Amino acid sequence: MSLVMGLDTGGTYTDAALLDAADGQVLATGKALTTHKDLSIGLGDAIARVLDAYTARAGQPQSAGGGKPSDIGLVSLSTTLATNAVVEGVGGRIGLVMIGFEEAVLERADLARALGQDPVAFINGGHSPDGGAQTMLDRDALRDTAAALGNEVLAFAIAGHFATRNPEHEIAARDLLRELTGLPITCSHELSSALGGPRRALTTVLNARLINLLERLIEATEAIMTERGLTCPLMVVKGDGSLLHSDFARARPVETVLSGPAASLSGAAFLAGTNTALIADIGGTTTDIAFLQNGAPRLRAEGALVGGWQTMVEAAEIRTCGLGGDSEVRAITRQRAGGVTIGPRRAVPLALLATQHPAVIANMEEQLQLLVPMQTDARFIFPLMPDGVPGWLTRSETRLAQKVIQMGPTPIAEVAATQLALGAVDRLISRGLLGLATFTPTDAAHVTGAFTDFDVRAAELGAELIARQKTGLGKALAADGRTLAAMTLATLHQQSGLALMDAALAHDGYGEEQASRTPLLATLYEQYLKGIIKPHYTDKQNAGMGDAEVGTERMVTTHVAGTITASAAPLVSIDMQLETNLVALGASAATHYPHIAQMMGVAVNVPEHADVAGAVGAAVGSIRQRVMISITAPTDGKFRVHLPDGPIDLNVQEAALQEARNAAKQLAHDRASSAGASTIEVVIAEDVRVVQLSPKKKLFIEAFVHATASGQPS
């Protein structure tokens, strides 16, 4: 028997599924809460539940196996932790080294915003487009950078000017910084062979920021595997749904961005028995949407788009938005009508926090006794610093962090009485040093009774505290907690429907460029003017809100800056309908997506085991590595092959192409082998670009040789 265990560590739950690889049968599943302080606890709980269920089968007459951990030949891990960290802007402090770039480059590709307050050093060096050095590498400046930042950052990211044409200076800088600091270092040419220095730098920054996060996850998984007697290899799912050996993944954690959603796509095809459908996977932090066509997702040519960041990570074309069961809910208090916003930041639901820390119920009851509501009501913070307070925090941040460590889960109002202190709290949350607990859609579901696995009283108190927040007119946001909960769920359902339509329009090629930057209705109106869609009057009731809650007014939704506003008498009503199957996945899919599908007028399939689709998808993956070698012509009659170790020049075009083919094939094979594949097959594809000058003469411009190596995990 060939058994594979799939694991999926998300922001809220850690899932496990055991599959018989021979016949594709799901033998057992398990689900446990993700324990962010110590990931091994949640992983251990999920693995234990699956192994216990499998062991119990051994004594049954129709046993599917011997029931021993040694029967399992492979463990495969998918995770949304990297995706969530990028979406929420969470990650360790890193140092960026820019070689041969001007400081103005930070304004391109949103690099400055991605870098935030993390330090950056500009070092002389780098290369020109033909791979020649534009100036010498300033090693003294690198030594100064190591001395200044070595104790202040957790990792370095290095991006060199035209490093994909010649990585010499990146490699030299990496070796020197590693020798002087001993820190993890990521070079941009290791992650992508494409041009575009600012985007490569952005991708490298994200990778460096995620190294410690993925290292913790892999170490925790390996520790619990050893404890449970699992001696098989550990694989990690990439953003395109393929697999990496855990040792290989440690150095390239950014490739696991969209790992969880990609695994869910594979799981959806397996569980729903369909090759073509729009897939929506709702987790605790995000909703991931993709179109599955002919059994496989389309790869995004520009690289993964995650949380507004355009990376160079090869990944499935998945649209990720900050909507989930555990998304932070905040009151809109500056607008006349009021309302709530959802996400993109994740929070621990109050209902869940109270099961572990019942004192928060008394805290919220005290807040309800106050005559004047505060914006910090129903908002708690707790420490996430297993190694203590980092030394690079400011003095005020250090004092705040130490206080929270002593107190445990604490109302924000007790430790942050000023706007400056609230800013420090936000910074520590963004750094992943403090966790946030507040009202979420999961709490709203507890209030309405749609989901009641945790503490209902805590959810009700949170709803009442948010409901009494004041709008711009000085009125209470909602009549009571139940109305506030219904408003929250309606907002989640409306925004989810808009996200589905955004994804469908982008897949059809309508408004693809502006889909991530402009309101959905602007895109719809543009298509209406072009005659692509026709207006059709409809009077559907808002999903999730009954007549008693919203009256009989017909609602029109507008997607502006993440909020939902409503007007009672719209002059124009445009109805659009999805013309494809809809498959919903995730722990809360059965709670929310029937409402969303009804609102949109489509049928939805929530398959069996939809709550562990990522774990199932992880178990059915294979290994795939892609590389690209480019060829340029610096002068007439000279062909420059840009190899990973540096460029070489040849005088014959075919000789250059053959050198590129050989190098690409060998590199792809080696990477697939390092990723853990056996019986590797390599496929070569070429893109040779020439200009026809005359019937007998062609001018060579450039060429790209692509190699794809694939195989099953060994």
pLDDT in tens, 265-285: 888 888 888 778 889 989 888
CA dihedral over 544, 283, 440, 498, signed as positive or negative:
negative
DSSP letters along 218-273, please?
A: HHHHHHHHHHTT--S-EEEE-TTS-EEEHHHHHT-GGGGTTHHHHHHHHHHHHHHT
Two tokens at 305?
């788009």
Across the chain, what does the average pLDDT equal? Answer: 83
Contact between 439 and 461 (Cβ < 8 Å):
no
CA 446, CA 596: separation in Å to the nearest integer?
Answer: 18
Q: pTM of the prediction? A: 0.68
Higher-confidence residue of 115 and 96: namely 96
At position 540, the amino acid (one-letter code) is K
Per-residue pLDDT reduced to its tens digit, 143-192: 999 999 999 998 999 999 999 889 999 999 999 999 999 999 989 988 88
Higher-confidence residue of 655 and 254: namely 655
Per-residue pLDDT reduced to its tens digit, 347-362: 999 999 999 999 999 9
pLDDT band at 293 (very low <50, low <70, confident <90, very high): confident
CA 401, CA 383: separation in Å to the nearest integer?
Answer: 7
Per-residue pLDDT reduced to its tens digit, 53-85: 887 765 554 444 446 788 888 999 998 777 777
pLDDT greater than 70 at residue 568: no
CA 44, CA 38: separation in Å to the nearest integer?
Answer: 10
How are strands ordered across the β-sheet holding 120-123?
A: 120-123, 94-99, 155-160, 185-187
pLDDT at 706: 94
* Nearest one of 158, 149, 146 to 185, comparing CA atoms: 158
pLDDT band at 474 (very low <50, low <70, confident <90, very high): confident
pLDDT at 515: 43
CA 178, CA 513: separation in Å to the nearest integer?
Answer: 40
pLDDT at 147: 95
pLDDT at 160: 95
In the 8-state DSSP scheme, what is residue 130?
T
CA 426, CA 412: separation in Å to the nearest integer?
Answer: 11
Lowest mean pLDDT among 116-125, 522-531, 610-619, 643-652: 522-531
Rounded to an integer, the average pLDDT of 21-49 is: 85
> What CATH fold (topology level) applies to the domain 623-713?
Translation Initiation Factor IF3 (3.30.110)
pLDDT at 556: 34
Per-residue pLDDT reduced to its tens digit, 520-541: 555 554 554 455 544 333 333 3
Lowest mean pLDDT among 39-43, 75-79, 133-137, 543-547: 543-547
Two tokens at 187?
């070079």
pLDDT greater than 60 at residue 610: yes
Residue ranges per domain, the chain?
Answer: 88-210, 327-482, 485-583, 623-713
Rounded to an integer, the average pLDDT of 19-48 is: 85
Phi, psi of 493 (to 5 degrees): -65, -40
Give the largest CA-CA distance in the chain. 89
Q: What percent of the chain has pLDDT over 90?
A: 38
Per-residue pLDDT reduced to its tens digit, 388-441: 888 888 888 898 989 988 888 999 999 888 888 899 899 898 888 899 999 999
Residues pairing with 18 in the sheet = 5, 28
pLDDT at 158: 95
pLDDT at 668: 93
CA 500, CA 503: separation in Å to the nearest integer?
Answer: 5
**The listed CATH number (2.60.120.10, 3.40.50.2300, 2.60.40.1110, 1.10.10.60) that belongs to domain 88-210:** 3.40.50.2300
pLDDT greater than 90 at residue 500: no
Strand extents, DSSP E, 533-617? 558-560, 563-565, 582-585, 604-605
Strand extents, DSSP E, 524-638? 558-560, 563-565, 582-585, 604-605, 623-632
pLDDT greater than 90 at residue 250: no
Domains 88-210 and 623-713 share a fold: no
Contact between 510 and 527 (Cβ < 8 Å):
yes
Give every CB contact of residue 297 below 8 A, 6+ residues apart in sequence.
240, 241, 262, 265, 290, 291, 316, 317, 318
